[in-house]
A and B are shown apart, each in its own frame.
Chain A
Amino acid sequence: MAETNLCAVLSCRALTKTHFELCLDAPAIANAAVPGQFVHIACGHSHLLRRPISICETKDGFLRLVFEIRGEGTEWLSRRKAGDVLDVLGPLGKGVFPLFPEDPRPVLLVGGGVGVPPLLSVARARPAHVVLGYRNEAAMILYRDFLASSDTVMIATDDGSVGTHGTVADPVSRLLEQNDYCAVLACGPKPMLRAVADLAKGKNIPCFVSMEERMGCGVGACLVCVCKTKHGDHEHNSRVCMDGPVFSADQVVWE
C-alpha cells in the first residue's frame, strides 16, 4: 500500500542565492525510486497544496533534492534545518526516463535551469553526454556532479558568462552531428524541450521529455495536471503526475 512518509531533514544548504539542496532520510522512497520520478512535499500548514520536486539522486536510503525558490512554498522549504520533519508523498510518476541497459551507446541528457536535477540520476546510472543550460554562471547548479560522472558536459548560458552564449540548441545539434546516441532525455522549460525534440527528430533519435504542470493530488485522481498527447489519430489529456512526468516526445502535442 502507498503511504505518505514523514522524513527527517539531514541537511539543507544553499547552492546559489536562490537554489537549495535538501537531503532527506527517506529509505522507503529512496529504495523504490527510479530516475525521472518526483516527490510531492507538504510545505507547512499555510499552504494547502504539496509542491512537486524531482528526485535528483538517491543513495543509501537518502533522497537528494535540488530546487529553486519560486514562491512561498519553495521559500518555506529553503528554510528547513537538519532534524526538521517533512511530510513527503512518493516516489510518484509512472512515466520515467528509460535507461536502455542493453545499449552501449551513450544517451544525450539535456537540462535547463531547474530541469537539470532529475538528469543526474540518469548520468550516474549509465553512459551519458550532457548539455546543461543556465541563466548565468552563478546559476550553474550540479555542474561538478555531472563532470564527475560524464566526460562530455557542455554548458550554455543565457548571458554567455560560461560556455555557449544562448540556448542549448547549438551544443545539442553539434553533439548530435558528432555522436551516435541511443536516445535524448530532456528536462527544462517547454520551449527548450520542444526545440530539443525537433533536433532529435531530425536525427531520428528517440527523445523523452519531462513535462511540468501545476498539480493537485499528485497521484492521478484529480486531472488538473494534464499534458496533451497523441495516440494514433486521437488526442488525450494525459496526467503529468501519473502517466508522466516523462513522455515520449513524439506523443506530446506542443501547444
Chain B
Amino acid sequence: MLSVNLAGVTLKNPVMTASGTYGFGREYNEFYDLGELGAINVKGLTLQPRLGNVPPRIAETPLGILNSVGLQNPGVDKFIEEEIPFLRQFDTKIIANISGSTMEDYLAITQKMDSADVDLLELNISCPNVKAGGMAFGTCPATVESLVSAVRKETKKPLIVKLSPNVTDITEIARAAEAGGADILSLINTLLGMRIDIRTRRPILHNNMGGMSGPAVFPIAVRMVYQVSRAVNLPIIGMGGISTWRDAVEMMMAGANAIAVGTALFRDPMAPIQVRDGIEEFCREQGVSNVSEIVGTVRPY
C-alpha cells in the first residue's frame, strides 16, 4: 500500500529523512530500526572532511529554526568506509547527499559515489551555509543546467537534484535541472533567515545568517512543490516543515511522490514513524490501494 517507485528505485514507503537532520542514522537507530523508513538521506558530504561553522549554529524562530551548520562532515572516503557498511545492515534505501564548492569538486565526489554502494545520489546545490558553492550553484538556471549535465555524465545512479527556495521563480531552476538530466527533484532546502539578540545587538548565529526550516516554512514548501510538479515531468521528493502525517499527505497531494522529515525530529525522534503510520491509516480510510494514487490530486480552483 505504501511502496513508491522513484526513477526505478522502489521504496517500501514514501517517508525518508531530510539530509543533515539525521546524521548517518546511528543515533535514531537507538529509537527504532532504520529499516522502518523508505530511505535514509545522510548528512551532506563533501570531498574533504569539513569542520563546519563556528557555533552558535541554531536559533529558534516562531515554529521554526535557523541553522548554520556549514556542512560539517567526515568527508566522502570515511563515509564510504565506515557509514555505508553500517547503513547496509538495514532494509532501507541509502541516499547520499553531495556538495562541492567548485564544479571539479562536484564531479570528483560524484565519481567516488558512483562506485559506492548507495541507491541514489542527491546533488545539493542549495546549501545557504557555505561561502563558496552550495546555494551559489542553485540560483542561476544556466549554472544549474551545466552542473547537472556534467554530473549526469559521471554516474549511472539515479540523480536527485535538491532545489533552493531562495529564488524568484523555482520552476525555472526545476526546468534547468530537468534539462540537465536530473531523474528526481527534491525541495525545499532551507530559506535564508536571520535573528538578532536585542540585548547584545549580535546575531544569534555566529554565521550571522542561516537556513530556516520547520513548520513555519511548510506552506512555502507546499506551494513550491505544487508549482514545480506542474512545470516538470519528474518525480518529486517534498520536504520543508513536515511534522505530521497530515502535512505529508498534503505535500503529496501538492505533487510530491515521496516526502522527507527533518526538523520535526528535533521535537520528536519518532516523527517519521508516526508520519508513516498516519499515511497508511489515511490510505486505508480513503480506500486508496497505493499511496501513489494521492500524488498531485489537489483540485485547484
Chain A interface residues toward B at CB < 8 A: 1-4, 42, 46-50, 89, 213-228, 235-237, 242, 255
Contacts and interface: CB of A to CB of B under 8 A. Distances in A.
B43 interface: yes
B31 interface: yes
Given A221-B265, A235-B51, A48 B28 contact: no
Interface string B51-62: 110111111101
B141 interface: no
A76 B149 CA distance: 52
A217 B31 contact: no
Q: Give the contact-size bracket for chain B.
A: 35 or more
B58 A214 contact: yes
Contact of B65 (A1, A48, A226, A235): A48
Interface stretch (B7-15, B16-24, B118-126): B16-24
Given A213-B56, A235-B51, A221 B22 contact: yes
Contacts of A216: 21, 58, 65, 67, 263, 266
A48 B214 CA distance: 8
Interface of B: 20-23, 26-28, 30-32, 43, 51-52, 54-60, 62-65, 67, 69, 72, 204, 214-215, 263, 265-270
The B interface is mostly helix, strand or loop, or mixed, namely loop
B52 A226 contact: yes
B43 A223 contact: yes
A3 B28 CA distance: 10
Nearest to B262: A222
5 contacts: A214-B55, A214-B56, A214-B59, A226-B55, A255-B54
Contacts of A4: 268-270
B57 A224 contact: yes
A86 to B, nearest CB: 13
B51 A2 contact: no
B51 A236 contact: yes
